[in-house]
Chains A and B, each alone.
Chain A
Amino acid sequence: MIELEGLTKRYGDKVAVDDLTFAVRPGIVTGFLGPNGAGKSTTMRMMLGLDRPTAGDVRIDGEHYDRLKDPLKYIGALLDAKAMHGGRSAFNHLLFLAQSNGIPKSRVSEVLDTVGLTSVAKKKAKGFSLGMGQRLGIAGALLGDPRILMFDEPVNGLDPEGIHWIRNLMKSLAGQGRTVFVSSHLMSEMALTADHLVVIGQGRLLADTSMADFIQQNSRSYVRIRTPHRERLLDVLHEAGVTVVESGSGALEVDGGEAERIGELAAQHQIVLHELSPQQASLEEAFMQLTAESVEYHAHSDGPSPVAPATPRQPWGDDWKRS
C-alpha cells in the first residue's frame, strides 16, 4: 500500500507535481496514466525517496521509504531501462543489487530465469536491446520478492511477445496480493492490464477511479446512421423524441444503444438506410479528452489544435470532464 498526501514538487517556479493525494492498494494493478511531462516519473521518484517533496508526504505501508530496513524486499522498482553500467554483466548487475540488501545469491539466477535472460547472464549490458534492458530492470525489481512493485513505462521498447509477457506478469503479481503500480502514457495498454486508474495531467490529479467505472463513464456508445433520406429521417427521429447529432462526414449519430428502435422507426416510414451501426468510443479518445487541457508539449502542425477535441463530433466528453 502506497499512500500519497498532498504530494507536491516544485522546481523553481515550475510545479511538476501539484498536491497529489491518492492511495495505491494491494491485490490489484493500478495504472498511473498521464501524458508525457505530466509528472509521473517525478511522483514515482518521490515515492522511492529519490526526490524530496516540496510539500506533502508519501508513505509505504505507513513508513517513509528511507526508513525501510530492507527496501528491495518491500518495493521493487523499474525506473529506467538504461540505468545500468554498460560494461557490467547482467549477472553482476543483479548481484550487487542483491548484496546491497542481503538477498541470497541464488535469487539472481532465479529472477534471470523468470525474465528469460539466463542465456545472456554473463553478457555485458551494453549489448542489450531496449527490450532486454527492460527485462533486466524488471529482474532487478523482482529480486527481493517485494510486496510492492513499481514500473515506469515497462512496455517501452518491448516486442508484442514481451508486452504480452509483462501484462501477464503484472496480473499474476497482483493476483498474489502484491501492490502493482504501473505508469504509462498509453490508455489502450492500461485498459488491458489495470484494475484501477490514477490519471494525472500537469501534476494534478484528474481521475482516481476503477477501470470498470472509467470505461462505463467514458466509453460513449452511439449509433451511426447513413441514409439518402436525411431530412425525412431527422423529422421522424425528432418526432420520436430521439436526439440526433450530425457528424462531420455526413452521417448521423444517436447516443445510446437504440439501433433496434431507430431501425424499426425507419422501416415504419419506409426510409432507406445505408448504415445503422452501434459504435463505441475508444478509451484512448476518452483519455485524450481528459488530459487535453493539460498536455504540456503540443506538436504544432496544420492539423486541428490538440486542445480542442481531435474529433469533429460534438464534444460529448463535456459531461465527465468536470470530474
Chain B
Amino acid sequence: MSTPQPPMPQAAGAEWQSVPGSPYPSYTSPIPVTPTHLGNAIASEWTKIRSVRSTMWTLGVFVLLVVGIGMLVAVLVAANSGESDLAGENPLSFGVFGLLLGSMCIITLGVLTTASEYGTGMIRTTMTACPTRGRVLAAKAIVFFLVAFTVTFASVLLVALADMALLDGARTPSGSEWLKGTLGISLYIALLGLLSLIIGSIIRHSAGAITIMIGLVLAPLVIALFMFSEALEGLRQALFDYSIPNQLSVFYTNALSDSGPSGWEPLWIAVGVTAAAFAGAVTLLQKRDV
C-alpha cells in the first residue's frame, strides 16, 4: 500500500453502525480535496492527445501534404508559366490543393480524439474521472482546436511565404488577402476538424465518423458534377457553391461570384454548423449511457 496504515481490528466493520453522529465515517485520504474544473480536464486531454502516436502520424502527414504539395505546385507553376500568365493571380491560392488533401488528416485526428475512446471503452474511465460530460467534450474541443489551428497556421504560412518567393509574376496580395489566406483558412480547417471531433462523439465509431466527414467534404461536389438535368440547375449550383472544396477556394479569391459564399462567409457558416453540432452532441452526451 502506498499509504501504509496498521490494519484496523476486525470489528471495524461493525463500528460504523454504532456511531450515530457521522453517517458516513470512512477512510480520509491525505491527498487534499480540491474541486475539479475545466482546467483539469484540459490538462488531461492535452496529455491524452500528445501521448499517442496517431496524433504525430496524422499531423505529420498533414504537414507533409500541405507543405509538400504547396511547394510542388508553386515550383511547377513557376517553371511552366510565362511572365504574363500569372498576372493578377493571388499567389497564395496555390496552397489550396495541399490543404484539400491535408484536411483528411485533420478530419481523421478529430474523429479519433473522441471516437477512439468508445472503441476501447476508455470513455468509461474518462467519464468516471469527470462526470460532467459536457466538460469532457469542451476540453477535447478546446485542446484539439488549438492543436489543429496551430499546426495548420504554421504550415499554411510556410507555403504562403514560399509561394510569394517563387511566383514572381503574380501580384502582391493585399493585407486582407493575407489574413484570409492564412489565418482565415487555418481557422476553417481547424473548424472542419472540430466538426469531425463532434461527429465522432455522436457516432461513437471511428470508421463511421471518418466516412461521414469525407462524404461531407466530397459528396456535394461529386453529386453536382453528375447533375446534367436542366431542371436541377439551381440545386447543382448550390451544391457546387457550398461544397467544401469551393468554400476553401473562397478564402483565396477577391472576386465575388454571382452566387454562393464570398469573403469570410465560409468561416461564419463553419462556425454556425460546428456550434449547432456541438450543442447537439452535448445534449446527446447527457442523455445517452456512456
Contacts and interface: CB of A to CB of B under 8 A. Distances in A.
Interface in A245-297: none
A96 B31 contact: no
A83 B52 contact: no
B135 to A, nearest CB: 10
A49 to B, nearest CB: 5
A167 interface: no
Interface in B119-139: 120-122, 124-132
B234 interface: no
A97 B44 contact: yes
B26 A65 contact: no
B182 to A, nearest CB: 33
Contacts of B116: 85
Contact of B2 (A71, A92, A113): A113
A68 interface: yes
Interface string B41-61: 101110110011110000000
B121 A83 contact: yes
Interface string A65-77: 1101111110101
Q: How large is the interface on A (under 10, 10 to 19, 20 to 34, 35 or more residues)?
A: 35 or more
A169 B45 CA distance: 31
Interface in A67-101: 68-73, 75, 77, 79-80, 82-89, 92, 95-97, 99-101
A26 interface: yes
Contacts of A99: 40, 43-44, 47
B121 A176 contact: no
A58 interface: no
B264 interface: no
Contact of B129 (A26, A101, A111): A101
Contacts of A100: 36, 40-41, 43-44, 126, 129-130
Contact of B290 (A51, A73, A144): A51
B82 interface: no
Contacts of B130: 71, 100-101
A103 to B, nearest CB: 6
A28 interface: yes
B88 interface: no
13 contacts: A26-B26, A49-B127, A50-B127, A50-B128, A50-B289, A69-B36, A85-B48, A89-B51, A96-B45, A102-B34, A145-B2, A177-B8, A177-B27
Interface of A: 1, 25-28, 45, 48-52, 61-62, 65-66, 68-73, 75, 77, 79-80, 82-89, 92, 95-97, 99-104, 107, 110-111, 113-114, 140, 142, 144-148, 169, 171-179, 195-196
| Closest 9 pairs between A and B when the two form their complex, measured CB to CB | A175-B7, A83-B121, A100-B44, A66-B131, A28-B13, A145-B29, A92-B51, A69-B35, A96-B47
